Amino acid sequence: MNFPFLPERASTFSDQIDALGLVLTSLTIFFTAIVFALLLFFGIRYRRGSKVNRAKPQHHNLAMELTWSIIPLILGLAVFVAAMIPYTQIYNPPANAEEIFVIGKRWMWHIEHTNGIRENNEMHVPMGRPFKLTMISQDVIHGFYVPAFRIKRDAIPGRYNTVWFEATRPGKYHLFCTEYCGTNHSEMGGWVYVMTPGDYADWLKRGGTQGANDARVETAAEQGRELFTTLACSNCHGTQDTVRAPSLVGIYNRPRKLLSGQIVNADDEYLRGAIRKPEDHLLEGYGQVTTMPAYRDDQLTEEQVHNLIVYIKSLGGAAGSPVANGKGPRTAPISNSREGSLGRPAHVTSPGLGGSAAPTNGTTPPTGSTAPGTNGTTPANATPGQPSTAVELKSGAQTTSSPSAPTRNTGSTL
């Protein structure tokens, strides 16, 4: 049922928030009414010249003052608790939430589903399933707001923010930007389309709103894999850990031990940071090698970074809630007994790294897709600037011999 004073209720949060609103409105009306009534009553009854009993006026009354201090305090704290609980839910996505990636930029919202479908200023979702939005901005702070869902969170440049929802009613709902971002701030919005599961399936088959004319849309993971190859990430990041770089197989949402000894979780934020600022994310055992080059805004867009992350996630890892500090660093030594399906095992002089070998993965081999391999000596694409140069530098340097230079891990890709 929709009241004219309420937006539509289209998510699992809407009812809770509106109920909270009702409580707050009742309290507001109640106390306002009391105050207005008393002011009116006292003002009239005790107006100047009125003949009523004014004997023994009081100037203070500790009991009363404490009462009307403590009761509002208690009521307030009760409301605080009542409001806190849904808040923790709104910003705590369930483990099975599907991901949607959102980029805010002046002045549009760019939305990318993991199946590769991209939308501008529109988001099509099916009802009845939870979705987690991972959001970032490419320029200034924007705010992602769907009134009907009662959710909102800022999209900030430089880091991810998430929010989740589960839509409950089909329909078309406003999407607004709520953080002032310049001239066309009020036009930076669009629609969220909630569809029945059947309609959504049809929509997917059509390849999204873009229609059937487009070639098959690549999923985010596929796009990420392509990037991984063209940027020659695979030259260093093979199926197994090498002295040059750790493997990325099965690392998603697993603990990683940094050079400083700190243990962090390899979640989205971490991976993004590792791509953008690798020198801040050096792992233990990798302090002495050439640090991975950083990929700045002008080399990789946020969308590309996110696609890489989705690809890495597809290589396996821990689903669901990450373990924070529970597990120690993985310490299985790299050995020839590893049977990577594609890569040649690497030969490592590991003890020199202080006893704990470079972390390896202990999980399943990567999910099967074979990508064209690249020769580690050849920069595979024309990506300008650092990547090629760095690869060349590494490759070039590797040709000079050194007594204990590690064996190059060439051509191993995933």
Partner 1 sequence: MSVEVAEEHGHHHDPALQHQFQDMDQQNESYVVGMWTFLVTEIMFFGALFLAYTVYRRENPAVFLEVHHHLDVFKGAVNTMVLLTSSLTMAMAVYHAQMKNRQKQMIYIGITILFAFTFLIIKGFEWEKKFHDHHVPGPHFEYVRGEGEAPIVKAPPTPVVSMRMSNGQNVNFPKDTIEPDFSNKAQLFFSLYFCMTGLHAFHVIIGIGVMGTLFFMLMFKHPNVDYYMPVELAGLYWHFVDIVWIFLFPLFYLIPGS
Partner 2 sequence: MSATALPPAGLPASAGETKSTYLNWSYSVKDWLLTIDHKRIAVLYLISISIMFLLGGFAAMAIRVELTSPHGQLMTSEVYNKMFTMHGVLMVFFFLVPSIPATLGNFVIPLMIGAKDLAFPRLNLLSWYLYTIGGLMALAAMIMGGVDTGWTFYTPYSSVYSNTNVSLTLVGIFIAGFSSIATGINFIVTVHKMRAPGMTWFRLPLFIWAMYSTSVVIILGTPVVAITLALVVVERLLHLGIFNPALGGDPILFQHMFWFYSHPAVYIMILPSMGIISEIIACFSRKRVFGYSFIAFSSLAIGVFGFLVWGHHMFVTGQSMYTSMVFSALSFIVAVPSAIKVFNWTATMYKGQVWFTAPMIYALGFIGLFTVGGLTGLYLASLAMDVHLNMTYFVVAHFHFVMVGGATLGYLGGLHFWWPKITGRMYPEGWAKLAAAISFVGFNLTFLPQFIVGYLGMPRRYHYYPAEYQIWHVLSSAGASVLAIGYGIPVIYFLWSLKYGPKAGDNPWGAVGLEWMTSSPPPMENFHEIPVVTWEAYDYDSMTESEAQADRESMPGAGAAVRQEAARDAEEGHPETGHPAGD
Three-state DSSP class for 187?
helix
- Window 286-325: residues binding partner 1 (CB under 8 A): 287-291, 293-294, 296
Site for partner 2 in 177-206 (CB under 8 A): 177-187
User: What's the DSSP call for residue 45?
Assistant: H
CA distance 143 to 181: 9
**Residues 289-318 close enough to bind partner 2 by CB under 8 A:** 297
- Binding test (CB under 8 A) with partner 1, winner from 79, 398, 410, 411: 398
Query: Is 115 an interacting residue with respect to partner 1 (CB under 8 A)?
Result: no
- Binding segment for partner 1 (CB under 8 A), chosen from 12-20, 159-167, 218-226, 350-358, is 350-358
Amino acid at site 187 = E
118 sits in which H/E element = strand 118-120
**Of the candidate residues 10, 16, 167, 222, the single one contacting partner 2 (CB under 8 A):** 16
Structural contact between residues 374 and 235, judged by C-beta atoms closer than 8 angstroms: yes
For 261, the token pair is: 């000894």
> Which of residues 108 and 371 has its CB atom nearest to partner 2 in the complex?
108
4 is an interface residue for partner 1 by CB under 8 A: no
Among 108, 386, 410, 411, binds partner 1 (CB under 8 A): 386
Give every strand in the sheet of 161-166, ordered side by side.
Answer: 118-120, 108-113, 98-105, 130-137, 161-166
- List, as one string, the DSSP characters of 106-126: TTEEEEEETTS-EEESEEEEE
From 31, 364, 369, 385, residue interacting with partner 2 (rule: CB under 8 A)? 31
Stretch that binds partner 2, among 42-50, 242-250, 379-387, 388-396 (CB under 8 A): 42-50
The closest of 250, 245, 292, 249 to 273, measured between CA atoms, is 292
230 is a site residue for partner 1 (CB under 8 A): no
Nearer to partner 2, 97 or 140 (CB): 140
| Distance, CA of 105 to CA of 155 (rounded, Å) | 9
Helix (H) or strand (E) holding 193: strand 190-195
Q: Which stretch binds partner 1 (CB under 8 A): 76-84, 111-119, 322-330, 352-360?
A: 352-360
Hey, which residues does 104 pair with through a beta bridge? 109, 137
Q: Which of 29, 33, 405, 407 binds partner 1 (CB under 8 A)?
A: 405
Residue carrying the six token digits 């007594």: 403
Among candidate residues 168, 166, 95, 173, the one with its CA nearest the CA of residue 129: 166
Q: Is residue 350 within 8 Å of residue 383, measured between CB atoms?
A: no
Q: Which stretch binds partner 2 (CB under 8 A): 66-74, 202-210, 234-242, 397-405?
A: 66-74
Note whether 145 binds partner 2 by CB under 8 A: yes
Q: Out of partner 1, partner 2, none, which partner does residue 353 contact, by CB within 5 to 8 A per kind?
A: partner 1
Q: Which does 96 bind (CB under 5 to 8 A by kind): partner 1, partner 2, none?
A: none
CA distance 110 to 120: 5
Q: Is 2 in the site for partner 2 (CB under 8 A)?
A: no
Q: Could you list the residues that contact partner 1 (CB under 8 A)?
A: 243, 259-260, 276-280, 282, 287-291, 293-294, 296, 349, 352-355, 385-386, 389-390, 393-394, 397-398, 400, 402-405
